[in-house]
Amino acid sequence: MTSEFPADYAVWHGLSPMTDFFRDADPGQFLVSGSGNHVTDAAGRRYLDARSSMWNLTLGHSCDPVKEAMRRQLDTLPSGTVMRYEHPPVVAVEYAARLAALMPAPLRHVRFGNTGSQMTEAAAMLSRFHRRMTGQPDRRHVIAVHNGYHGTGPLATALTGEPILHEWSAPLDGYVRHVTAPTLPEVLALVEEIGVEQVTAVLVEPVLGSAIGAVSLPFLESLVTECRARDIHVIVDEVTTGAGRTGTMTVSERLPVAPDMVVLGKGLSAGYFPLAALVVATPIFDALADPPLRLGFPNGSTTDGHPLGMAAGLAVLDVLSADGFLAEVRETGRHLVELLTGLAGEPGAGSVDGEGMMLALGLVHDDGSPWSVREVNRFRLTCRDHGLLTSYAAGFLPLMPPLTLSRAECAELVDRLRAALRA
């Protein structure tokens, strides 16, 4: 097969069909600048960015507090690490404390990384490491959800519940099992089948964002209770939902009982630096901090706790914690849902799901069957032609605009979407 890529095009796009890019797009679409919640391409066309870069640019391109904090950090201590404990940058110590204080107790210990994939892997490994070190070596199985998305590192790919990814790339080690339907009885049945004394953790997204639209996991609260009763760790993957995306700092904070670990990423730095974090409950940390276990969790990378990410993260927390900011995200979300619901009757428009700035518009044929991923991708290109950037997925259009979307931009988003549907 001959490549359709021009010979001088050197970017290899991750998680993308190898050749579709140049079949579907024109190089004029390369983005050259961003301002507020809009971006401009090489041909001078302006788009409303309803995907927030890759769901992470939560405060738009013009967030001065974040830019200024990063510039100040560049001029004081531009690099550093918390891998190994010898000389942690003070900004990492400060940021970890601020972040931990915003998490539901007893989630108090922050392991920094750069990507969501890296941190979901760290969570699963930490759960197993904890068992190994506390005399429960048989607890090795991690249960995840079919259609859940947790990233594409080797273990993260295994945790992700999309079989196509397993087929091509995952070294499934036999210890990751998926429930086919995201229901509590299925999870508990699988725990029984494996044997409760062999299960270490259940990993879930509080909102199944990547695979089936912005659909909330209805049983998260009972999952935590049931798992606690069986001494199974609950790891909540808030890479997408965290940092304000659904109108609260995390979804986990709404639970009566906190999970054992929460994974954060994407919006933590508002997309200004690759930053992710695993926040761990005190009992797990304390068990490993016990003198005989001083070896420490063998997991870390060179740029963990990089000062530029820490400075960005601190500035983002200032914005998210400002009076009324998250309430406004919830309110704008409700307003946008109302406008999107008004698309009913337009060709293809289906149900609207989600909350805050994590929404999804179902796309259906006249007979009610969902559009295929190829059809939605074609529609994404139509949206682009109408000045609107979105992601695409089988059966729905993910809408993940910046949290700073104004009412006028809500109207702009829906007008552009309506025009694309009619086209």
Residue nearest to ligand PLP (CB): 116
Beta partners for 47?
Answer: 39
Q: Is 205 in the site for ligand PLP (CB under 6 A)?
A: yes
Between residues 55 and 410, which has the closer beta carbon with respect to ligand PLP? 55
**Binding pattern for the stretch 313-352 against ligand PLP, x by CB under 6 A and - elsewhere:** ----------------------------------------
Residues 95-154 that bind ligand PLP (CB under 6 A): 115-117, 120, 149-151
Give the residue, chosen from 161, 244, 265, 267, that forms a contact with ligand PLP under the rule CB under 6 A: 265
Q: At what angle do helices 373-385 and 407-422 cross, to 10 degrees?
A: 120
In angstroms and rounded to an integer, the radius of gyration of the C-alpha atoms of the chain is 22
Tell which one of 147, 240, 252, 390 touches ligand PLP (CB under 6 A): 240
Count Cβ atoms within 10 A of the Cβ of residue 363 and give its class: 0-12 exposed, 13-18 middle, 19 or more buried.
buried
- Side-chain-side CA neighbours of 21 within 13 Å: the count stands at 19
CB contact at 8 A, 244 and 266: no
Stretch that binds ligand PLP, among 84-92, 204-212, 226-234, 398-406 (CB under 6 A): 204-212
Minimum CB separation of residue 415 from ligand PLP in Å reads 28
Alpha carbon 96 to its chain's center? 19
384 touches ligand PLP by CB under 6 A: no
Q: Of 118 and 409, which CB lies nearer to ligand PLP in the complex structure?
A: 118
Between 209 and 247, CB nearer to ligand PLP: 209
What type of residue sits at position 75? D
Query: How is residue 350 written in tokens?
Result: 């289906």
Which residues 6+ apart lie within 8 Å of 130 measured at CB?
200, 233, 284, 287, 288
- Return the residue of 210, 252, 332, 404 that touches ligand PLP, per CB under 6 A: 210
Q: How far is the CB of 153 from ligand PLP (least distance, A)?
A: 7
Helix H segments across 145-201? Answer: 154-159, 163-169, 184-194
* Beta carbon of residue 162, minimum distance to ligand PLP (angstroms, whole number): 12
Position 307 contacts ligand PLP (CB under 6 A): no
Minimum distance of ligand PLP from residue 196's CB (angstroms): 26
Listing DSSP states for 198-220 in one string gives GEEEEEE-SEETTTSSSEE-TTH
The CA-CA-CA angle for residues 184, 190, 191, to 5°, reads 90
- Give the nearer residue to ligand PLP in terms of CB position, either 237 or 412: 237
Q: Between residues 61 and 150, which has the closer beta carbon with respect to ligand PLP?
A: 150
- Residue 96, H or E segment: helix 90-101
Rounded-to-integer distance, Cα 400 and Cα 50, Å? 5
Size of residue set near ligand PLP by CB under 6 A? 14
Among 41, 162, 237, 409, binds ligand PLP (CB under 6 A): 237
Give me 30's structure tokens. 């390369």
Write out the residues near ligand PLP by the rule CB under 6 A: 115-117, 120, 149-151, 205, 209-210, 237, 239-240, 265
